[in-house]
Amino acid sequence: MSLFIAVRVDPERCRAGQPCTACIGVCPVAIFEGRDGLAGVIGENEDECILCDLCLARCPTDAIAIHKLYADEIRTGACVQGSPR
Amino acid sequence: MRLLEYEAKQILRDRGFEIPRGIVVRRAGELDQALPSVSFPAMVKAQVPIGGRGKAGAVIRVEDARAARDAAERLLCGHVRGYPVEALLLEEAVSIRGEFFLAVTYDTVEKQAILLASGAGGVDVESPGQASPDRMVRRVLDVRRGLHEFEARQVAAKVGLAGRDLLGFAGVVRQAADAFLGLDCTLLEINPLARTDEGRFVVADAHLEVDEDALYRQPHLETGYRIPRREASGRAPTEFERRAAEVDAIDHRGVAGRVIEFDGNLGLLIGGGGASLTAFDAIRRHGGRPANYCEIGGNPSVRKVAELTKLILSRPGVERIAVIMNVVSNTRVDLIARGVIQGSLEAGRDPGRTIAAFRVPGSWEEEGFTLLRKYGVEFCDRGVSIDEASRRAVARQA
Ligand code: SF4
Ligand code: SF4
């Protein structure tokens, strides 16, 4: 269980039928991996998240949420609107 | 990592340098077997990782086996400038007709490799006022392409040599440049490089330092030459220091390791470099006793900082740690905060009690402060000096 950061991928939204590996490719600290055709989160790496927002900016379906457990703040695609996808 | 003379010479011999014949002795009991193979006159040389051995009486010329035994027995049970003598090199004396100085190192101001050569080698060549600097030949060494033969000859000519001597010396200069680059050295020094009566150039003494960050590229030093890893100080790393090095090797991100063990009770997570020396001194001045020195920087992973924190807290008597750095631009405050909090928790400690001071101002400090507040850790920003943060850490120890 992570202490500081919880990264969640909404399986209902992820890929939405389209092939996509954007978050897996872009995350600099390897938090995502392909799992059963969707993006999965590697739990032991979650606390390494550097809050760069790249995954949020690149996810075409706004399926990712990053929860800062120490600040009660949840970052989603809406936080980075206007960033290049 | 500084190699001992005999280790350096073994390596240089394998690379084609001419080295006097010698034998290594580690205990007085080995002398009976070793002495018959030594040709006299010979040199008895204490193997310690520090210069100035000659002046300290740790290099003795002996004319026969009896004198060699006396000198060896005396040296083997002593210390040289604070270092215990763990080995001796018994080596045939070279008939010296001329002494030269040859070194390759990095000029840290110009940030490039340089080659230094002089026709005046010997014990005082580096002492200020002893060697005239205008007689020292200095040339930049291109680390990508090395040294061409003609460039080595130019160096030899500038040293004042001609004819066969020029060719012989140039050959050694070229070999030295190749060895320096091939072995990832930070220093290769041959002093003296002796010219014998027969006109050969012989490595009478050698000093090699290998870049510790490049040791993974030189596995033959440990596997082939059986040279154990040592701290920059020349001593073997302690178990604690070895484990810190393993923490640093967990991943390639940043540095969180390079620990030096001390006997105090206040663990330190500091950045290395000048500010850390300031913090270290300040802690001592305020009556604290550091348990370690360390280096953190370049955005190490949270995992590495956590593991280092746990390791430091695992030492007997270490109840608290002080996390003190100068203003950091290349290391994120929040990630360091995550690491020390996680490490404290995984060590079964309360971060608020365990972290005696957190003074790391810089990138993402607000995020870091939010996190520290959440876990009840006292922190300060750049408005509090390193000295004051150190004082507070010591005061919380009391
Ligand atoms: S915010 Fe950055 S570090 Fe965190 S999960 Fe997304 S891409 Fe990875
Ligand atoms: S970027 Fe979004 S849609 Fe693409 S794999 Fe990752 S979570 Fe799924």
ipTM of the complex: 0.94
Nearest CA to ligand 1 atom 4: A49
Cβ of B338 and A3 within 8 Å? yes
Confidence of residue A85 (pLDDT cuts 50, 70, 90): low
Give the position, in ligand 2's atom list, of the atom nearest the Cα of A22: 1
Cα A78 from Cα B15, distance rounded (Å) = 63
Among A31, A48, A50, A70, most B C-beta atoms within 10 A, so best to mutate, is A70
DSSP B186-247: EEEEEEEEEEETTS-EEES-EEEEE-GGGGGG-HHHHHTS------TTSSPPPHHHHHHHHH
A38 contacts A15 by C-beta, under 8 angstroms: yes
Residue A83 maps to a domain? no
Whether B338 and chain A come into contact, CB under 8 Å, resolves to yes
Q: Is the dihedral of CA A41, A43, A44, A49 positive or negative?
A: positive
DSSP B297-316: ES---HHHHHHHHHHHHTST
* Cα angle B193-B199-B202, degrees, rounded to a multiple of 5: 30
Residue in B188, B14, B62, B56 with CA at minimum distance from that of residue B116: B188
Cα B91 from Cα B297, distance rounded (Å) = 45
User: For chain A, which residues lie within 8 Å of any Cβ of chain B, measuring from their own Cβ?
Assistant: 3-4, 29, 47-48, 50-51, 70-71
Domain count, chain A: 1
* Residue to mutate (ligand 1; options A49, A64, A75; most atoms within 8 A of CB): A49
Q: From the CA of A70, how many Å to the nearest CA of chain B?
A: 6
Distances (CA, A) of A9 to A48, B52, B278, B380: 17, 65, 46, 36
Q: From the CA of B333, how many Å to the nearest CA of chain A?
A: 11
Residue A54 maps to a domain? yes
Cα B219 from Cα B268, distance rounded (Å) = 31
What pLDDT score does A10 carry?
Answer: 95
Cα torsion through B222, B228, B231, B235, rounded to 10:
-160
DSSP B254-279: SEEEEEEE-S-SEEEEE-SSHHHHHH
The SS3 call for residue B318 is coil
Q: Does domain B21-92 have CATH number 3.30.1490.20?
A: yes
For residue B351, whether the previous peptide bond is cis, meaning omega lies within 30 degrees of 0, is no
Q: What is the mean pLDDT of each run of 10 residues along chain B (398 residues)?
A: 94 96 92 92 92 88 94 90 89 92 93 94 57 76 95 96 95 97 97 93 96 90 88 75 92 89 95 88 96 93 97 96 92 97 97 97 96 97 96 92
B286 contacts B340 by C-beta, under 8 angstroms: no
Whether B302 and chain A come into contact, CB under 8 Å, resolves to yes
Distances (CA, A) of B193 to A56, B4, B71: 63, 17, 24
What is the interface size between A and B, counted as CB pairs within 8 Å?
26
Cα B292 from Cα B321, distance rounded (Å) = 10
The SS3 call for residue A71 is coil
Q: Confirm or reject: Cβ of A74 under 6 Å from ligand 1.
A: no
Contacts of B375 in chain A (CB under 8 A): 70
Cα radius of gyration (chain A): 12
Q: Confirm or reject: Cβ of A22 under 6 Å from ligand 2.
A: yes
What pLDDT score does B122 carry?
Answer: 67
Q: Residue A47: which domain range?
A: 3-72
Q: Confirm or reject: Cβ of A49 under 6 Å from ligand 1.
A: yes
Cβ of A3 and B335 within 8 Å? no
Q: Confirm or reject: Cβ of A30 under 6 Å from ligand 1.
A: no
Residue in A40, A43, A69 with CA at minimum distance from that of residue A55: A40
Kindly identify the ligand whose nearest atom is closest to the C-alpha of A52. 1
Contacts of A29 in chain B (CB under 8 A): 301
CATH 3.40.50.261 in chain B, residues?
Answer: 239-397
Q: Which residues pair with B74 in a beta bridge?
A: none
Cα B85 from Cα B183, distance rounded (Å) = 26
Q: Give the fold, CATH level 3, of B96-223.
A: D-amino Acid Aminotransferase; Chain A, domain 1 (3.30.470)
Cα B347 from Cα B308, distance rounded (Å) = 11
Q: Which CATH number fits domain B239-397: 3.40.50.300, 3.20.20.140, 3.20.20.370, 3.40.50.261?
A: 3.40.50.261
What DSSP element (H or E) covers A39?
strand A38-41
Cα B169 from Cα B153, distance rounded (Å) = 8
Residue A85 maps to a domain? no
Q: Confirm or reject: Cβ of A54 under 6 Å from ligand 1.
A: yes
Residue A68 maps to a domain? yes
Residue A78 maps to a domain? no
The CATH number for A46's domain is 3.30.70.20
What pTM was computed for the model?
0.70
What DSSP element (H or E) covers B139?
strand B136-141
* Residue to mutate (ligand 1; options A4, A5, A51, A64; most atoms within 8 A of CB): A51
Residue A82 maps to a domain? no
The SS3 call for residue B109 is coil
What pLDDT score does B375 carry?
Answer: 97
A70 contacts B371 by C-beta, under 8 angstroms: yes
CATH 3.30.1490.20 in chain B, residues?
Answer: 21-92
The SS3 call for residue B148 is coil
Q: Confirm or reject: Cβ of A29 under 6 Å from ligand 1.
A: yes
